[in-house]
């Protein structure tokens, strides 16, 4: 819980995951046998197995989050930016951000509603027309605080909302929720060698996972995610992707992977035997690290388990701590059985 707060508040837009990696490293150092950071910045930790097994299981959770990169400083000191990862332009206006290593505060400028022509009120402002205001009045002044190439993250503190679902809100639950679950799983020892891969640059194309999977060369893999939860009441009969509080979401298929049926069945069977709630992520949306991992080398049977998170890829997301804990339980119980799974075809 405290770890989720720390992870959520750490800044790690794709390509700049160092602060998140440090939080994770501090949490896992005493729980693992070996760890290393590879050339791209993936943190790969090994927890050696108890049995005489050659099987290697990789579990990936990505450290990076969506955010912004400063691309240009205007002469009056406002900052032009480009999104890093998929962000809807509509969630950007008037949001508070922190820029660069020194976390310089800024706000994404918006025209007061009073000045908008009726037609403009109906249009989406594109990010290219926005700029970040850090309160300075010249380019020179701005350059003392920030530089082109600096990252900006949303400035959102972690808050407990409570209720029956034990809801919390914060930024970047995609995928700090997955990171928190993976750190928790490293408390236990399993019959196989567990490679925990805290990956980089997932949001810009599953890049870290690709090289991590290549170096680990696992026999099977899981990706842990904070996934889309679009469960608010709607008109018409659209099914939600996942529902908050209904347990870990198991992916059958998304844009990047068709999950290994044997792993999916093991997950379902384990959930049912242990009375752990679970749900299926409505198919075909999004992609995860499993998309890169399952195509590594000669192919890796892979599955995805996710904590439902509302409003991902926006400044603030919400999740249920019940879901988070049930995801840990489902993974823990599944891992206890995964060594016996026959993976021959
Ligand atoms: Zn993600």
CA 196 to chain centre: 15
* Cα gap 251→221, rounded to integer Å: 13
Q: Which residues surround ligand 1, an ion (CB under 5 A)?
A: 174-175
Cα of 286 vs centre of ligand 1, distance in Å, is 9
**What integer pLDDT is reported at residue 285 of this predicted model?**
77
Cα of 293 vs centre of ligand 1, distance in Å, is 14
Span 80-115, pLDDT tens digits: 999 999 999 999 999 999 999 999 999 998 777 787
Parts of the chain with a pLDDT under 50? none
- Sign of the CA dihedral with 306 first, then 311, 314, and 315 last: negative
Cα of 175 vs centre of ligand 1, distance in Å, is 5
Span 187-216, pLDDT tens digits: 999 999 999 999 999 999 999 999 999 999
Please tell me which residue in 17, 65, 184, 202 is annotated as part of the active site.
202
Cα of 152 vs centre of ligand 1, distance in Å, is 18
Domains in the chain: ranges and CATH: 2-65+171-338 (3.40.630.10), 67-154 (2.40.30.40)
DSSP code of residue 277:
-
Question: 89, 125 in Cβ contact below 8 A?
Answer: yes
Structure token digits, residue 213: 């999977």
* Cα gap 164→8, rounded to integer Å: 22
**What integer pLDDT is reported at residue 238 of this predicted model?**
65
- Distances, alpha carbon 268 to alpha carbons 76, 162, 272, 320, in Å: 58, 28, 6, 21
Cα of 291 vs centre of ligand 1, distance in Å, is 12
* Cα gap 323→345, rounded to integer Å: 33
6 is catalytic: no
DSSP-assigned beta bridge partners for residue 303: 222
Angle at 104 between CA 26 and CA 37, to 5 degrees: 30
């Amino acid at each position: 819980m405290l770890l989720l707060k720390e992870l959520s508040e750490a800044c790690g837009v794709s390509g700049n995951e160092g602060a998140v990696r440090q939080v994770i490293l501090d949490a896992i150092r005493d729980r693992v046998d070996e760890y290393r950071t590879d050339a791209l910045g993936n943190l790969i930790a090994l927890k050696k197995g108890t049995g005489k097994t050659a099987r290697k299981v990789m579990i990936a959770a990505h450290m990076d989050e969506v955010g912004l990169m400063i691309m240009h400083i205007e002469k009056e000191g406002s900052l032009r930016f480009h999104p890093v990862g998929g962000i809807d332009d509509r969630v950007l206006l008037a949001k508070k951000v922190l820029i660069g290593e020194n976390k310089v505060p800024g706000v994404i400028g918006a025209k007061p509603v009073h000045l908008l022509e009726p037609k403009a009120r109906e249009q989406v402002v594109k990010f290219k027309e926005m700029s970040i205001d850090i309160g300075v009045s010249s380019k020179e002044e701005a350059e003392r605080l920030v530089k082109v190439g600096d990252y900006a993250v949303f400035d959102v503190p972690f808050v407990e909302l409570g209720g029956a679902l034990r809801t919390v809100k914060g930024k970047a639950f995609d995928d700090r929720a997955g990171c928190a679950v993976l750190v928790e799983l490293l408390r236990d020892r399993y019959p196989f060698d567990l490679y925990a891969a805290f990956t980089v640059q997932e949001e810009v194309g599953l890049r870290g996972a690709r090289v991590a999977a290549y170096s680990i060369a696992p026999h099977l893999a899981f990706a842990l995610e904070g996934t889309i939860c679009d469960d608010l009441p709607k008109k018409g009969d659209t099914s939600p992707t996942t529902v908050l509080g209904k347990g870990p979401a198991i992916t059958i298929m998304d844009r990047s992977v068709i999950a290994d049926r044997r792993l999916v069945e093991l997950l379902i069977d384990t959930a049912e035997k242990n009375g752990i709630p679970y749900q299926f992520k409505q198919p075909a949306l999004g992609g995860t690290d499993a998309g890169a991992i399952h195509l590594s080398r000669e192919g890796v049977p892979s599955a995805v388990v996710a904590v439902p998170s509302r409003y991902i890829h926006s400044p603030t997301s919400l999740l249920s701590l019940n879901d988070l804990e049930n995801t840990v339980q489902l993974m823990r119980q599944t891992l206890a059985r995964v060594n016996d799974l026959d993976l021959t075809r």
